[in-house]
Structure 1
Amino acid sequence: MADFKPVYTDKAAFPAGPYSQAIATPHTIYCSGQIPCDAAGTILTLESSNISAMTELCIKNLTAVLEAAGSSLSKVVKVNIFLNSMDHFVEMNKTYETFFTHKPARSCVAVYQLPKGVPIEIECIALA
């Protein structure tokens, strides 16, 4: 058997498909993408919220998953951000930089569509 384990916490959004919230290895935590959905299943929309609040919720979900895996946001080494429009970049970035003060490596791309019709999804890789 491989030396890894699935990670699950009820403090973050439940996976929207057949995957784990993260996979923990002895040295690295690979977090699945988090959308702006809370642990109760409520999805933030642009009609009821804004990209700043959505970014914060995605990162709070990542925080909960990382903590369940025995890691933390401060151990993140790589972040991937998916936006449905680069029009959201500036607002997302302002919120993002308040959480990732250690400036991990990062990619941010615009995509055609995201799960559940949300405008943002964030995933990361962290040290265990």
Structure 2
Amino acid sequence: MTDQTAATKTALTPPTHTTPPAKFSHGVRKGNLLQVAGQVGFLPAVEGQAPTPAGPTLREQTLQTFANVEAILNEGGATWDDVMMIRVYLTDTGHFAEMNEIYNDYFKDLAVAPAARTTVYVGLPAGLLIEIDALAVLG
């Protein structure tokens, strides 16, 4: 990678995602840093259709949210092994235990788990239960 390439900031929108509704990116890579913006549990985009949640349960939405984060990581050349930090936002404090169980099972094969933070956030659109963002360092 040349110095010019390392300084280039690249927006990431995998084919599974819709074009963002405002001036932001689903993910951005600059050099060896990749920031994944907050993702929710929408199913892969279908042209001409509004985004659809994976289902009404925390499990369905969490697994789809992980898939959406992973799609952006892959688009930027990263994997979960490159992730340094994950931030999880829940809409209900009663979901902490279930989310931790899903999280632990999902990442059970990672040699080193990323740092993580979970907080309760009530500002998600109706029906959405979880949002996740991630920071990866490649190389």
Same fold (TM over 0.5): yes
1:35, 1:118 within 8 Å by CA — same for their partners in 2?
A: yes
2:121 — aligned with what?
111
Q: Distance in 2 between matches of 1:20 and 1:76?
A: 18
TM-score, normalization by structure 2: 0.80
The percentage of counterpart residues that share the same residue type is 24
Matching residue's letter, 1:15: P
Pick one of 69, 82, 92 that aligns with 1:75: 82
Distance verdict in 2 for CA 1:17–1:92, change over 3 Å = farther
2:53, 2:61 within 8 Å by CA — same for their partners in 1?
A: no
| Structure 1 position 8, deviation (Å) | 1.1
- The alignment status of 1:122 with 2:127, answered yes or no, reads no
Q: Distance in 1 between matches of 2:134 and 2:81?
A: 12
TM-score, normalization by structure 1: 0.86
Distance verdict in 2 for CA 1:37–1:21, change over 3 Å = same
2:36 — aligned with what?
31
Work out which of the two has the higher radius of gyration on C-alpha atoms and give 1 or 2. Answer: 2
Pick one of 17, 20, 23 that aligns with 1:15: 20
Q: Distance in 2 between matches of 1:17 and 1:99?
A: 31
1:59 — aligned with what?
66
| Structure 1 position 11, deviation (Å) | 2.2
Poorly superposed stretches of 4+, deviation over 2 Å: 11-18, 98-102
Q: Distance in 1 between matches of 2:52 and 2:73?
A: 21
Q: Provide Cα deviations, 1:62-83, integer angstroms capped at 9, x if missing partner.
A: 1111000011112111000000
2:11, 2:26 within 8 Å by CA — same for their partners in 1?
A: yes
Q: Distance in 2 between matches of 1:115 and 1:32?
A: 16
Q: RMSD between aligned alpha carbons?
A: 1.9
- Give unpaired runs (5+ residues) of structure 2: 46-50
Q: Distance in 2 between matches of 1:29 and 1:60?
A: 16
- Partner SS for 1:95: helix
Distance verdict in 2 for CA 1:14–1:118, change over 3 Å = farther
- Give unpaired runs (5+ residues) of structure 1: none
